[in-house]
Structure 1
Amino acid sequence: MTHVVTEACINCKHTDCVEVCPADSFHEGANFLVINADTCVDCMACVAACPTNAIYADSDVPADQRKFIALNAELARDWPVIVKRREPLPDAAHWAGVAGKLDQLQHS
């Protein structure tokens, strides 16, 4: 099992999860984080650390968010690893409660 970052992270990018990850499994894009399933050790520390409740065990990802399992795997191959906490994006508070924001994801 691994963990998956879902839509709630888009345009927020809190990095509290990065700070607690013992395996350095997070990868960073412009406005989203992903987890590398190949390095995730399933410790669940990131789930509790995420202030937007964006991280799930892959078996618990809500049905409407299942596309993020493949998206995490795809983007983790291309995006750099992030190992230190950074400030969230400037409009994170606004975007935290917004649903349907997949179209906002910046792939580069």
Structure 2
Amino acid sequence: MTYVVTDACVKCKYTDCVDVCPVDCFREGPNFLVIDPDECIDCTLCVAECPVEAIYAEDDVPAQMHDFIALNAELAKTWPAIIEKKEPLDDHAAWANVSGKIDKIER
């Protein structure tokens, strides 16, 4: 099983999770992070670090967010690794509690 970044991360891009990842499995896009399923070791450390609760075990991803499982795998193949914490996006607070943002992902 791997972990999956979901909807809450879109347009927020908190990177607290990156600091605790022992294998550097996070990949960074313009306004979203993903987890590389081939690198994730299922350690669970990132889950507690996400301030917007965007990270789920693959088996626990809510039904309305199942598209994020394949999306993480797809984008992880082309997006660069992120290994250091950065500031969230400038307007992260306005987006933190908005749902249904999959169409807002910039590739």
Same fold (TM over 0.5): yes
In structure 2, how many angstroms separate the alpha carbons of the residues matched to 1:54 and 1:22?
19
Deviation (angstroms), 1:103: 1.3
Deviation (angstroms), 1:54: 0.2
Deviation (angstroms), 1:101: 1.2
Structure 2 residue 63 is matched with structure 1 residue 63: yes
Q: Could you state the TM-score of these two structures normalised by the residue count of structure 1?
A: 0.98
Match of 1:71, SS state, is helix
Deviation string, structure 1 residues 6-53 (Cα, Å, up to 9, x no partner): 010000000000000001000000000000010101000000000010
Q: Could you state the TM-score of these two structures normalised by the residue count of structure 2?
A: 0.99
Match of 1:46, SS state, is helix
Question: Percent identity, aligned pairs only?
Answer: 61
Structure 2 residue 70 is matched with structure 1 residue 79: no
Match of 1:17 in 2: 17
Match of 1:28 in 2: 28
In structure 1, how many angstroms separate the alpha carbons of the residues matched to 2:104 and 2:96?
13
Match of 1:53 in 2: 53
In structure 2, how many angstroms separate the alpha carbons of the residues matched to 1:35 and 1:103?
18
Count of aligned positions:
107
- Structure 2 residue runs without a partner (length 5+): none
In structure 2, how many angstroms separate the alpha carbons of the residues matched to 1:4 and 1:101?
15
In structure 2, how many angstroms separate the alpha carbons of the residues matched to 1:2 and 1:103?
23
- Structure 1 residue runs without a partner (length 5+): none
In structure 2, how many angstroms separate the alpha carbons of the residues matched to 1:66 and 1:101?
13
In structure 1, how many angstroms separate the alpha carbons of the residues matched to 2:21 and 2:87?
17
| Structural RMSD (CA) | 0.4
